[in-house]
Structures are given as structure tokens and as C-alpha cells.
Structure 1
Amino acid sequence: MAQLFVVHPENPQTRLLKQAGQLLADGGLVAVPTDSSYAVVARLDDKAAADALRRLRGLDARHHLTLLCRDLAEISHFARVDNKQYRFLKLATPGPWTFILEATKEVPRRVSHPSRKTIGIRVPDHRVALALVEAAESPLMSTTLIPEGEDDPLNEAQEIFERYGNQLAAVIDGGPCPLLSTTVIDLTGPLPEVIRRGQGDLSTLGLD
């Protein structure tokens, strides 16, 4: 059964985040609040956890898993970023955006898109999510927690605990989140292309 960690949304307790980080290191899945609904995360280097992540969401190999990163420097380690893309990412991060970029060799094949060799990547603007990535000492594979067969993400930790307690190692309760997924922006073409509209004001990025 999952552990439930109740943390302060602006100043999360380091001790609890370290415990959650250890559960990730042990191969578990953790639900965590972000700036665009709750997400389920796993360690980047854990194939079994990646498979469990896809089973929980009912996702196939063609669906991008997203890397949660701490900052822009970490993005450039896992994605190929030219000067134009870098300027755009600098404007947009942190925030409720997922960017599609060409993956570097540092990204395991199970995370990148099998045919396009691209990766979804983001830096969340949420203290709890960033603190968990810091505690894990590594970017985390993630996917928005949308129950299979439903359209809306979950944003209440207690509901997540009740519905997925047997499939998760922990649920981090940092309070409710927005009910929108991230906005997905493809940066692999000549111009940024909005693939999915969700959380965030596109006008702040000059795209609306």
C-alpha cells in the first residue's frame, strides 16, 4: 500500500521528500503535484518502473513519457538544443509546458519516441515537484495522472491514494493542482508548433 506524505506546498519538508526519493530509487512509482495537475513519476534509469508507469496509464510505446528536469542546464544534457531553441526555453521555463525535442544518447530508448527519437521534457514551476527531482538526484520519467478511459487528470491526493494505493509506492499531498495538463510545444521544426493546448498562457511565449 502506498505511503501518503503530506507536505507544505511552498516549503516541502526535506525529510519526507528524501523518503519519497528512496522509494523511487527502490523502483516505486510516486504521485506528485505539479503546476499542471498531479503526475506519476519514476526514475529515469529504471526499465521496470517505466513499464509499470505505462501499464498504470494504459499507454503504449508511442506515447511520449516526459522528463521532469530541475533546470535549463539539465534539459540540454538530455535534449539537443540549438541557440534559437535555448532562447525559447529560457523564456518559457519553469512553467506548465512540455517541449518536444530531439533526444540525446543519454535518454533511454524506452523514454524517447521509438520512430522519431524525440523526448518530451519540462521544468515544472512547482516547489514540491522540483524538490522531489532534487531528492531523486536525477530527472524523472513522468506522465499526467489521467485514469485510463477518462479525460480529466486527477488533482486531489486523497482520491489518488484511494484509487491507486496498491499500484504506487507513495502519494505526495501538496494540495490541489490545476485540472489541465501541460501545453505541449514541438520545437523540432523550423517554428514552435503547439501540439496540445493545456495549462499556461501562450501569449507569454508569443504563440497566441
Structure 2
Amino acid sequence: MPAEFLKIYPKNPDQRRIDHVVNALRGGAVIIYPTDTIYGMGCDIHNARAVERVARIKGVKPQKNDFSFICYDLSHIADYARVSNQAFKLMKKVLPGPYTFLLEASGSVPKVLNTSKKTVGIRVPDHDIPRQIVRELGNPIITTSIRDEDEIIEYSTDPELIFEKFQHQVDIVIDGGYGGNVPSTIIDATDDDFSIVRLGLGEVLF
């Protein structure tokens, strides 16, 4: 059965549609959704089978994934990562925004993702659709980028084309309009000597 193609407008997202997505995530769904940078794929971080599905679609082993978390705000980050005062100040300054922060993982992360990774990526995108989803869900969702096989266009931007490609692999593709094709800037904040891992949409502010 093909995925559901669900239109949600980014400004003031329809609550019934957000609730529909949240209920699907609680049931183990894998979804594709817009962010403030590129389209992402993800699931509820607490559903091990869904995490394994995302890993299979990406062609990686679940234990060796590089998935990040989308959070609604900074209030629950301490549940998943250890954050220094300096890192927290920087995150508070730039989030929500097009940044992924690599932080030292707390003890709960390996249990969630069945991985022994020592770091976790945290995203708080400046986009109402994924933020409303995780707020209603009550915990983060995984995020991993939707890459295009085209050598020129690295990231897919058209939700209809994304649906064509993934309709038999995921459960819901959210059409939130055209996405961007520049990913987030990744900042290593595992210590206070911050460094850029990948320069993307977000400006360097340190």
C-alpha cells in the first residue's frame, strides 16, 4: 500500500493533520517531512522497529546510524545530551534555526537507538510542521536527510517527486511546499572549543 501524501501548510499547520501524523508515529510510522533546510525522514525515537526501517531505507546499520533528533525547543535536551553552559548559550542564541549541534550523548540515547555512539545531533528547526509534530508527540523524532541520486541536485526539493520515490518505503509524505537544497550547519559542541563539521545554511556565529 503506497504512502499517504498529506498536504500541511507551514504557517498555522492544521491541528487535525498534525494529530493524524502523531498517531501514525505512535503506531510505528516512518514519515517524510519539511524542515527549515531540506526534507527529512524520521520516526519516533522510542520505536526501535521504526528506527530500523529508517536505517534500512538509508542503507545503514541501525547501530552505525548518524541520525539526529528534532526537538521542539531546548527544554528536554538534557534528557538526551550533556550540554555545557557555553553550548547552551549558543544554542539559545541561534535556535530555532538551520543548525545541528553535536553533543555528548546521555545514557538514554544508546537505549533508544541501540547504538553505542558517544554523540547525538540535536535540531530545533525554524519550521512549524516538525516542531508541532514533536510537541504533540511529547518526545523528539529522528531526522535524516532525503538525498537525491542526481549528481547536480544533492537534495530533493519537490514533495511530489519525493513521494514518487519513497511512496512504497514510508507511511506518510508531508507536502509542506518546496524544500531547500542546502542542509543545516553542523556544529561540534561536545566541548567548548566549537568547530564546524559541515557548513550549511546557518551562519557561523562563534
- The two structures have a TM-score, normalised by structure 1, of 0.90
The answer to whether structure 1 residue 167 and structure 2 residue 169 are counterparts is: yes
Structure 1, unaligned runs of 5 or more: none
The answer to whether structure 1 residue 186 and structure 2 residue 158 are counterparts is: no
Number of equivalenced pairs: 203
Note if contact 2:71-2:123 (Cα within 8 Å) is conserved in structure 1.
Answer: yes
1:160 and 1:111 map into 2 onto residues whose CA distance is 26
Counterparts in 2 of 1:80 and 1:196: CA distance versus 1, 3 Å: same
1:113 and 1:197 map into 2 onto residues whose CA distance is 26
Alignment match, 2:35: 34
Note if contact 1:35-1:178 (Cα within 8 Å) is conserved in structure 2.
Answer: yes
Which is further off, 75-84 or 12-21? Answer: 75-84
Alignment match, 1:18: 19
Matched ranges for 1:1-208 at <5 A: 1-60=2-61, 61-109=63-111, 111=113, 114-115=116-117, 117-147=118-148, 152-202=154-204, 205-206=205-206
Letter in 1 for 2:94: A
Q: Aligned-pair distance for 1:200? A: 1.5
Q: Aligned-pair distance for 1:189? A: 2.9
Counterparts in 2 of 1:175 and 1:108: CA distance versus 1, 3 Å: same
**C-alpha offsets along residues 150-208 of structure 1, whole Å, 9 cap, x if unaligned?**
67122221111111001111011111111011111101134111001111222xx23xx
Note if contact 1:57-1:146 (Cα within 8 Å) is conserved in structure 2.
Answer: no
Letter in 2 for 1:172: I
Q: What is the aligned-residue RMSD (CA, Å)?
A: 1.8
SS in 2 for 1:171: strand
- The two structures have a TM-score, normalised by structure 2, of 0.91
1:162 and 1:28 map into 2 onto residues whose CA distance is 18
Counterparts in 2 of 1:55 and 1:148: CA distance versus 1, 3 Å: farther
**C-alpha offsets along residues 52-96 of structure 1, whole Å, 9 cap, x if unaligned?**
111111234333210100101121221111211111111121111
Give every structure 1 segment of 4 or more consecutive aligned residues whose post-TM-superposition deviation is greater than 2 Å. 59-63, 108-115, 147-151
Counterparts in 2 of 1:94 and 1:31: CA distance versus 1, 3 Å: same
Which is further off, 45-54 or 132-141? Answer: 132-141
The share of aligned pairs that are identical, in percent, is 32
